[in-house]
Amino acid sequence: MISLGCPKNLVDAEVMLGHLPPDRFEIVTDEAEADIIIVNTCGFISDAKEESVETLLEAIECKKSGRCSLLIVTGCLSQRYPEELAVEMPEVDILLGTGEVPRILEFIEAHDRGEAVRQSVGLPQYLYDHATPRVASSPFYSAYVKIAEGCNNLCSYCIIPQLRGPLRSRSIASVKAEVQRLVASGVQEINLIAQDITAFGADRHDGAHLEGLLRELVTIPELHWLRLLYAYPDGITDGLIELVATEDKICSYFDVPLQHIDDRVLASMNRRVGEDAIRDLVARMRRRIPDLTLRTSFIVGFPGETEAEFAKLLAFVEEGYFDRVGVFRYSREEGTPAAALPGQVPERVKQSRYNKLMKAQQRVSFRRNRALVGRIEPVLVEGYSEETDLLLSGRSVRQAPDVDGQVYITAGQADIGQIVPLRITDSSEYDLIGEIVDEFPPLST
């Protein structure tokens, strides 16, 4: 199984593996040893599509030269381009859309009988739950839990609603049951994910909402870290901010994709929030959660973005509100309203703006990390550093898996998966360095 793209896609891959009986299927990590290769693709933006195509070409070569006899393509790219892939890559045996996740065994068995339908792509309606079998691929101490699927936001640049369908939220009881099972198995960190976690429950008729879900999850005794990822700004209520500020188990960490700060650009993106609302939200979050780690993302080179509008975004970043920033060069995706907008920005201009914004945020990130030196922070130990096997490494409570930096541990010993107190002794733009100490400082009153 090769899974590309976001953690939401990774959960789908784990669910597919969970539907393959272990007495009949052995999971291998080397493509050359595989009889069946499944490539779970991403088709969100141009870079992701290119990575998916390159991976597929490698898998095709492996099929030609190795023991693979069945090549299956799943995920967003096959949902988006099934006809094109079928023509351009005849070596692919089966193409499945994002809604076919639980049917993976059915298609493999049909292929074995010579009855396989080459394509199965329709409107995605599937939503896994706590009873769904799932094979974990994340480290034993951390897990992603998808609380909803699909999206109703309809941002003008985004193809996700077409790839994933409309919003579908799980029940609170289902999410809680899954988290309880994961925590009982030794998971220390639960990362709640969805296309927009703040929309959780909006499609249901049982009163479910994100705050109610969190209030249930924090009652799980063995749960240590609960992290919120992908929160749409207008869904972050004062009640949610208060909950994060007062519940020790919820990490003081928000990932809030803002995309821009200029009102005209935001309106063209079909975003529901403007500059005043964004600034008010950031101020309220910082004021109520003084130790907040705030991550966001911005798009540069959106159609019609002027030099003045980009300069406004650059100045906003330089004000220093954000600990982490992801920057994306606008990707013109066919089928989205933004693709038809006038004033498409040249690639060289997008790249220049990307470089400037990244450099500006690097300076901010460095300052914010330097301010942590001398503090004692909770750190989740993940193993030995990739740089050297002489140092342990891990992540601070301020660092989400896969997207943020690391902590390098220069003194002290701990087990993998253990959360330890660590004094920060040095830092870079993205990473922290520190030493394990005996205990956390007493809580201030």
Contacts of 228 (CB under 8 A, 6+ apart): 192, 197, 244, 250, 251, 253, 254, 255
Q: How confident is the model at residue 115 (pLDDT cuts 50, 70, 90)?
A: confident
Instruction: Please state which of the ranges 44-48, 274-278, 426-430 shows the lowest mean pLDDT.
Output: 44-48
d(CA 6, CA 175): 20
pLDDT of residue 185: 94
Instruction: Please state which of the ranges 127-141, 308-322, 382-396 shows the lowest mean pLDDT.
Output: 382-396
Evaluate if residue 343 carries a pLDDT over 70.
yes
Using the structure block, give the residue that is written with the tokens 């201009």: 349
In 287-306, which positions are buried (b, 16+ CB within 10 angstroms) versus exposed (e)?
Answer: eebeebbbbbbbbbbbbebe
Residue 69 and residue 96 in contact, taking contact as beta carbons nearer than 8 Å: no
pTM, entire model: 0.92
Using the structure block, give the residue that is written with the tokens 């789908």: 12
Q: Encode pLDDT of 117-167 as tens digits.
A: 788 888 889 999 999 999 999 999 999 999 999 999 999 999 999 999 999
Beta bridge partners of 419: 380
pLDDT of residue 44: 74
| Binding site residue list for [4Fe-4S] cluster | 6, 42, 76, 151, 155, 158
Q: How confident is the model at residue 32 (pLDDT cuts 50, 70, 90)?
A: confident
Cβ-count burial of 431 within 10 angstroms (0-12 exposed, 13-18 middle, 19+ buried)?
A: middle
Question: What three-state secondary structure class fits 271?
Answer: coil
pLDDT of residue 443: 55
pLDDT of residue 350: 97
Mean pLDDT within 288-294: 93
Evaluate if residue 336 carries a pLDDT over 80.
yes
Domains and CATH numbers, the chain: 2-120 (3.40.50), 142-370 (3.80.30.20), 376-436 (2.40.50.140)
pLDDT of residue 114: 86
Using the structure block, give the residue that is written with the tokens 């906003």: 316
pLDDT of residue 442: 65
Mean pLDDT within 365-375: 94
Q: How confident is the model at residue 292 (pLDDT cuts 50, 70, 90)?
A: very high
d(CA 418, CA 41): 33
Cβ-count burial of 110 within 10 angstroms (0-12 exposed, 13-18 middle, 19+ buried)?
A: middle
Longest C-alpha distance within the chain, in Å? 70
d(CA 282, CA 320): 11
Give 105 or 43, the one with higher predicted confidence: 105
Q: Which of 325, 402, 398 is nearest to 359 (CA)?
A: 325
pLDDT of residue 63: 86
Name the token pair of 296: 């966001």
Mean pLDDT within 199-227: 96
Q: Which of 324, 243, 251 is nearest to 288 (CA)?
A: 243
Half-sphere CA count of 224, side-chain side, radius 13 A? 18
Mean pLDDT over the full length of the chain? 93
d(CA 320, CA 333): 31
| Binding site residue list | 6, 42, 76, 151, 155, 158
Name the token pair of 235: 């869904």
Using the structure block, give the residue that is written with the tokens 């094979």: 135
Mean pLDDT within 410-425: 93
d(CA 368, CA 359): 14
Mean pLDDT within 102-121: 87
pLDDT of residue 341: 96
Evaluate if residue 440 carries a pLDDT over 80.
no
pLDDT of residue 445: 37
| Amino acid in position 259 | Q
Evaluate if residue 439 carries a pLDDT over 80.
no
pLDDT > 90 in the chain, percent? 78
pLDDT > 70 in the chain, percent? 99
d(CA 318, CA 56): 40
pLDDT of residue 385: 83
Q: How confident is the model at residue 187 (pLDDT cuts 50, 70, 90)?
A: very high
Residue 97 and residue 120 in contact, taking contact as beta carbons nearer than 8 Å: yes
Q: How confident is the model at residue 444 (pLDDT cuts 50, 70, 90)?
A: very low
d(CA 359, CA 364): 9
Half-sphere CA count of 110, side-chain side, radius 13 A? 14
Q: How confident is the model at residue 320 (pLDDT cuts 50, 70, 90)?
A: very high
Evaluate if residue 366 carries a pLDDT over 90.
yes
